[in-house]
Amino acid sequence: MLFEKLAGEKLDHKDLRVTLAASAAASAIACFADYKLTPERLKPGYEKRLSKKFLAGVYAAFAVGLALGAIVTAPGGQ
């Protein structure tokens, strides 16, 4: 919801590059918030079980999911 609220105006231009950049930025912000801003006691501990490479893949998949959601829900599609 925050992604759509902040990037929705730009996403309405139906430029795939803008959508991909916005979703990548949102995913990077989510990663930063999850691992730098969240107190240790509230973290689920995935970083202790998964490699950094795999966690990067998780956040990349999150970015792709955001982009696909924006594309699918855009009026007229992209």
Sign of CA dihedral 12, 63, 32, 1: positive
Q: Kindly report the pTM of this predicted structure.
A: 0.81
Over the stretch 15-69, which tens digit does the pLDDT of each residue have? Answer: 888 889 989 999 999 999 998 999 989 987 888 899 999 999 999 999 999 999 8
Over the stretch 2-22, which tens digit does the pLDDT of each residue have? Answer: 777 777 777 766 788 888 998
Q: What is the DSSP string of the chain?
A: -HHHHHHHHHHTT--HHHHHHHHHHHHHHHHHIIIIIS-GGGS--HHHHS-HHHHHHHHHHHHHHHHHHHHHHSTT--
Domain ranges, ordered by start, for the chain: 2-73
